[in-house]
Structure 1
Amino acid sequence: MASIYKRASKARYGPEESDDSDMTSDDTSSSSGTIRGDDDLDQVENLQPATPFSSSPPPSNQQAEAAEARKLKQMPTELRNRILMLTSRGVSFRHRHLLNDLSSLLPHSYQDTKLDTKSSNNYNSALNSLADLHSCNYVFFLEARKNAQDLYLWLAKAPNGPTIKFHVGNVHTMAELGFGGNVLKGGRGITVFDKSFDEELAVGGQENKALIREMLRGVFCVPSKGVRGLKPFVDRVVGIYGLDGKIWIRVYELREGSKDSAEDKLAAMDDTTSGVKLVEVGPRFVLTPIVIQEGSFGGPVIFENKMYVSPNMVRREARMKKQSKYTQRTFDKTDRTRKIRGLGLNTGAERKRRVVDDRALFG
């Protein structure tokens, strides 16, 4: 009867007007249902993967290095060029000043101490290791031979090559001849090649000129950015000329003319002049290519200059010529003595008295 009364009262008044016992039973059932629902939600949350947070944590050092490496890979090759410049033991003061002048003109270079090695066979491992240590991809190495009488330039692209060996001659440093030009330290320059280095003309056995052009361009062309201490000024011109099988290198300053000088006043009268003139800065030197190797300081020879004569051979010929002069002079002296003796005109020997001799006539 009680259960029938409860169902009738709920149907008549609704669930809001039910008695306390019904509220108690409903609360108990609802509380127990809530507990069961929480357990089910926990199980569902354990099954579903956690969603990532909207705010990402700060990147670690490895992530930053990886991002920097990706940026470097996206940069052009010219922007990552760096030159390792050093000399061997036994260089003279002129060779040392030449390297200092070139290092001051090229802000993307790193000048290292002298390389102390006895043989050229160690260049492959030593120089490539130094280039890798200082993050350089070009090696500009000056080697002195014969008590600093001969100077050779090894220009290589590390670590895979190629390598070009030059003979360096006619060296004049900045302070030696007193050049009138003056350039800003850390500035950039314009590298100019003459027509002999054009790719259209470097055919028919002259393909080595195109390779030499690319190697010299990587050394003397300063990147536009990515260099420490680089200033946004273009105030110099590096001229590279090919003549008589040699490479002539000159450095000039771009100088704007002043209105006070007489030369600039005369130049201003001519409409074709631009008011910019070139003043030589230095250094100046001449390169003679000897051999090109495929690898970095090693590998097979892909070019050899048949017209090159080593300075040691030139000195030997000079000595032989001097020796031939002495030999000819000695032979002439011996021949003259033999003729005098044959004619009986030797003053050291006693002459035979004749019949009409004074000593024979008058005693």
Structure 2
Amino acid sequence: MTTEPAHATIEIGKGSERLSRKEGRERRRQGKMAAIKRKRRGGLAVQAKKPKRNEKDATPTAKRRDMAEEAEEEDRDRIPGPVCKGKWKNKERILIFSSRGINFRTRHLMQDLRMLMPHSKVCEMKNCNKCIYFEAKKKQDLYMWLSNSPHGPSAKFLVQNIHTLAELKMTGNCLRGSRPLLSFDPAFDELPHYALLKELLIQIFSTPRYHPKSQPFVDHVFTFAILDNRIWFRNFQIIEEDAALVEIGPRFVLNLIKIFQGSFGGPTLYENPHYQSPNMHRRIIRSITAAKYKEKQQVKDVQKLRKKEPKTILPHDPTADVFVTPAEEKPVEIQWVKPEPKVDLKARKKRIYKRQRKMKQKMNSGNTK
């Protein structure tokens, strides 16, 4: 039994050139990439096929002219292949992934973001220059990392109030893969940390120009508004008739925690002083409810002590009987005659009904005899 060596050779092409399997695979990959580039440059435009000339079966000049005219007519009616007007230079790739323990709402949010951004992928970190990472903690808190890899910066947010595309509230519908418009609140230009976040959001959520998976249409808007020290994300569809906006989804709120100089770490550039962790928020709510319960218990204890205290007897106030008027004394009357009993009409009707029923039964029995 023979075994094949690690670097086996095979023959490729017309010649007898011997290549290793790895080199053959590399050459096939380069051929596919070259074909894709030719398609992007408009290499699919079909040209008129010239008839092959054969010396033995040479056709007359008239027939050749007719064939050329037919080919020209076919070219006029045929739609040419897509021709790229420019070169895809901004090759942004977004990595969207999550940690373990996410719920169904977070999973749907990730799928919505992947569908809205055609340049997002699930691939290795070395092939991506931007990253969206969802981190779930305690199966109830969701954090989002926006990172520019490998040199940074990166920002960490707490995600709140998540609504996905599948909900019935989102009635809009836009073309998949179309280019979105990015609308930012004017407050993004007032503070330096918001200006940094604006540039990071533009690079992540905008579709690169001439991207092969994008469509040449603009029919929806991504809005980023700042309210209550949070960033509110909304997605609206542009209706062609009257240029009105209909919300599509998803929607969520980003509460900024920190901005780091590096990717997923490094020196802290900014820390939000208004941020309150979910654990602290739940702790405050529990303390408020506990304080209400303690207050009720204290009120009950005070009431019990008041009931146990001896009652103080106040002296009689002579002025309290000033306005009291004695009632007139009525003579005592003794009734010697027994009152007549009250007639019960219901019982009387029952007795009459029974009597009539007996009479009918007797009459019926006499007739039968």
Q: 1:243 aligns with which of 227, 240, 243?
A: 227
1:43-101 alpha-carbon deviations (Å, 9 max, x no partner): xxxxxxxxxxxxxxxxx97xx89xx9xxxxxx999712110001111111111111111
- The corresponding residue for 1:337 is 304
The code of the aligned residue for 2:205 comes to F
Q: 2:148 aligns with which of 148, 152, 157?
A: 157
Indicate whether 1:306 and 2:273 are aligned.
yes
Q: 1:211 aligns with which of 191, 196, 199?
A: 196
Name segments (4+ residues, structure 1) moved above 4 Å.
75-78
Indicate whether 1:315 and 2:282 are aligned.
yes
- The corresponding residue for 1:110 is 121
Indicate whether 1:136 and 2:128 are aligned.
yes
Q: CA deviation at 1:224?
A: 1.3
The code of the aligned residue for 2:257 comes to I
CA distance in 2, matches of 1:341, 1:231: 83
CA distance in 1, matches of 2:299, 2:122: 58
- The corresponding residue for 1:47 is none
CA distance in 2, matches of 1:315, 1:159: 36
| Structure with higher helix content | 1
CA distance in 2, matches of 1:77, 1:341: 88
The code of the aligned residue for 1:214 comes to E
Give the gaps of 5 or more residues in structure 1.
1-59, 69-74, 113-129, 258-274, 346-363
Q: Is the 8 A contact 1:103 1:111 kept in 2?
A: no
The code of the aligned residue for 1:154 comes to W
The code of the aligned residue for 2:232 comes to W
Higher relative contact order (CA 8 A, sep 6+): 1
Q: Is the 8 A contact 1:188 1:231 kept in 2?
A: yes
Q: Is the 8 A contact 2:97 2:133 kept in 1?
A: yes
Counterparts of 1:71-220 in structure 2, within 5 Å, are 79-111=90-122, 130-132=124-126, 135-147=127-139, 149-198=140-189, 202=190, 206-220=191-205
- The corresponding residue for 1:286 is 253
Change (3 A) 1:249 1:77: farther
Among all aligned residue pairs of Structure 1 and Structure 2, give the percentage whose two residues are the same amino acid: 41
CA distance in 2, matches of 1:314, 1:77: 47
Q: CA deviation at 1:178?
A: 3.3
Instruction: Quote the RMSD (CA, aligned, Å).
Output: 2.6
TM-score of the superposed pair, with normalisation by structure 2 = 0.59
Give the gaps of 5 or more residues in structure 2.
1-25, 35-85, 313-369
Match of 2:256, SS?
Answer: strand
Match of 1:176, SS?
Answer: coil
Match of 1:289, SS?
Answer: strand
Q: Is the 8 A contact 1:78 1:218 kept in 2?
A: no
CA distance in 2, matches of 1:160, 1:254: 37
The code of the aligned residue for 2:177 comes to G
Counterparts of 1:245-284 in structure 2, within 5 Å, are 245-257=229-241, 275-284=242-251
CA distance in 2, matches of 1:320, 1:183: 46
Give the total of aligned pairs: 234
CA distance in 1, matches of 2:275, 2:309: 51
The code of the aligned residue for 1:315 comes to R
Q: CA deviation at 1:288?
A: 1.1
CA distance in 2, matches of 1:102, 1:244: 24
